[in-house]
Structure 1
Amino acid sequence: MRIHSLRSQIIVGVAIVIAMFVAVQMTIRAFVIYPQLKSLSEKHDKYELLRVASEIHQEIRALENLVYDNAVWDESYRALETKDVAWFEKTYFSAASYSTLGIHGWFFFDSNKNLVAGEHFSATYPLDDISRQIVQSGLLDEIHHTEDSIVHTLFELIDGKPAALIASHILPSDEQGESNGTAIIVQQINQAFIDKITPNIEGDIQFHSTDSLSQDAITNSILFGALINKKLDLLEFESSLNRLYVRFESPTKTSLFAISIQRPKGPDKHIIMDGSLIGGIVVSVLSLIVYYGFINRKLITPVYDLLQLVQRAQTEQDFSVRSELEGSNEVYQLGKRLNNLLALIQAQQSAVSEKNKILQNLSRTDALTGLSNRRYFDEWMASLSSNANTPSIAVSLLIIDIDYFKLFNDHYGHAKGDEALTLVATAIKQSLHESTDHAFRYGGEEFVVVLQDTDSEEAVKVAENIRQHIENKHYEHNTSPLSDYITISIGVATKQVNMLLDVQDIFKLADQALYTAKARGRNRVAFQSDSETI
């Protein structure tokens, strides 16, 4: 066949078009569609890893709060100072206490790293060996060299098993003065501990000892510290693994254990890549041989429509978009499967969003009183101070402190103390307008109330109303030198109209006013100007 014939030229032209089309299709799939779908799949893997890390972190934070509450306490400080071992044994070392708290051991060291009192429930090693393992972990050195935190956590092998060591300086209740030692909680990490995180979803998160992990699982695992710090931009995931792994290391970079979660169903880059490529090539060759316009209408245009659909979904993060292609060949089947895939991603995105909302709410709420916590107070005040409307309104701040609450706790116990805190929180909420006022538990027995669009005169009235409301509850407090019932002292400060809101200044003024209220006998309200005469 001569090359100059029309047939030959057509055949050569068709061959060139087919070769170019196949090359273009392979390039598009290799460098556009594949990275986009892979990015979508990895993004959802990252969401799941963050969820697992967040749930573990919440459990660790709860233990940090537990050790802090028991370490920053006058009684613990005194008992360690006097080496009162009997007091530690009576207060902490009971099987019922371990069962209730869900921990495995308490250890109390003096400032010279000497064990004063300790107990490890169901230990196989002697107590001296366990205390030596804790000292060798470096936790005592690390917490004493960390000036910006009272509580510190690390993971290590204790009693031959992976464990979280949560330590806190032992200080007086007011956190003033030097620490005279360290309190440490030992929490074994095993499947039972993991099951507490998701009690309603059996097998959602699984525990793995290091020797049970394959090399692929270790290689493709993500360090817990990286997840907590959200260093995920450069993460790569091995698609052959059916589970996502989070690995925990000791301070010496030794792998201790891992936890895993089932990889969520998402875009499968291999099936989409292979099926799309083979179907595209077959349909392309047959269609171009019959007629070039046919392939342009039936294949090229639909493929680019799907590409734009995927690109739009990724760029706008809108997974509600759907392909409107109709037909029965491979391209239209790809459109249908892509619609199913987008629907799946949309459902997963909604589920992740809902879980994130729940986690955010938990992180902003005080579990005991139901009020917003100190962390949300900082966010709220930062947002309020940056609001363009804030300078045009008066803003008042109330700092509320329960009178002689330490005496109440020592006499009635922590359970009654929690009940009193809840009573005060409820009374505060009942005295406020939800539309303009917001109450927070700032810490311990201290509460903060923010009153928007409220001048100093009205703020003092609100404060006095809260004080009377709580006093009229007649909640018994026989150890108070002031009254037979629970009472409160309140400091009030106000940012006037046409002034900028300085959070530190208004808080300092309210705190000084609270000091004034206490100095004048407690169970009273003091305004910021009152403190200037003290």
Structure 2
Amino acid sequence: MFFVKSLNLRLKVLLLSNASFIILLLGIAIGIRQPILQRFAWLEQEIMQKKLVRVADRFVQLVEMLDSSAKAETIWTEMYVYMEERHPTFYRDTYSFEGMAISIIDVFGMLDRKGNFIHLDWIDRRSQQLKPLPEPSRADLLRARQLISFPEDCNLALRDSRNLAIIPTTDKPLLVVSRPILTRDATGPHRGTFLMGLFIDGKFLTQLEKYNNLELELTPISSVKSSNRNLSNIATNISNIVQISPDIRVLDKEWIMGEIYLLNGDRQPIQILSVRAPRLEYQQGEKTLNQLTGVLFIVGISLNIIISLLLDKSIRNQQLLKMSEVALQVANQELQKLANLDGLTWIANRRCFDQFLNQEWTRAIRERHPITLILCDIDYFKSFNDTYGHLRGDECLSDVARAISLAVRRSSDLVARYGGEEFAIVMPNTDLEGGMLVAQAIQEQVRNLQIEHTGSSIGSYVSVSIGISTLVPTQGIAPEALIEQSDRNLYSAKQQGRNQIAFA
């Protein structure tokens, strides 16, 4: 009878505690989960917008490469003479498939001063020949020649003159850059126009995808109605042929999408470049919340078990002790993990850096491998704090820490906050060349942040100075030698004007 009464009491207590725990979980799910997920969704939108800017910037870089190639063809004497005399062998001797195929271009040609085409060829890489541009596409360029040629009586500053347009052709859109044909010293009068073009197709998209973990798809704008609807919200102008839509759409749990508009010479949209990216930030937020819920669930179950053990101490005493030991071990592991992290940036702290460097130094001595150390310092960070305040300064440190972590991709490397506005990257089994590649990637990631810094004497945005050193450790050399060498190189980078990479 006593056992039954005790059992009933135990069940009552367990049922009450379980009900309380379920109510607590529901309260957390309703009151906390959605606001947190919403913040992750906002973060996701901001990051996606930055990715769109990077894709558009890469597009503009391709344009500049095209323009540089066109400019090189227009300011040499032989070309200038040819446009006047039209010697029949010049074009054949100068432009061959082998010479043109190594460039990124697909189409090139020449127009006289009146805007009439003298040559208009495309590079057929499949047959390995230069061929006249097919008639439908040639007709499209003829209709658009006022966008790419220069007037006969042009009085502009010809040295820096260029035309830039996306022309819809029968086959596919053609990005065209043209420049006036001038003398060697880039003076006039001009004797015609030289153009180079790049088809915006799968090969072109591969160029854009190369530097981003993204999926790109190019589609024509199908109707004026949809075009007007989208363009009404265009917020970002990258150049006179590229505009970014601020409307970012969530496709499903896995993907998010933004759009970049490609404009023709009249600045009207003719193509939509759809950019899809995995929802890594949002998925990480969901994962974190699920882990938090799981931890709370485990804590609640543990409390119920403890209550049960207290009601039946004589039977459950051994299990209670075992669970206490497990809980203590988990807590110690969590404390150890937190002890190695910087509380502001959530990367490794100085203590973790020292331990990791000593550990890898010993390993490098044993295996006779090089070890590279990169020290980064945010330029004019004191001025940044004085200008924007310490809260913005903390945000800047966190953003730069994340940018550095993105640039350092190997799991065997360590990114740590070295102190103040300094960061350190330890790269085991890495030579100086590998360290330089990572340093350049760090500077690129920090530039992509575009954190405004009006207090900087070298630019409008936050930048970093970097010192790199590489050693093959031996028994007679301490890790401090590597640190001192990197620190000297960092000082040298600052002396050279900041936003530099110095190495030895």
Q: Smaller-chain TM-score range? A: 0.3 to 0.5
What's the TM-score, normalizing by structure 2? 0.45
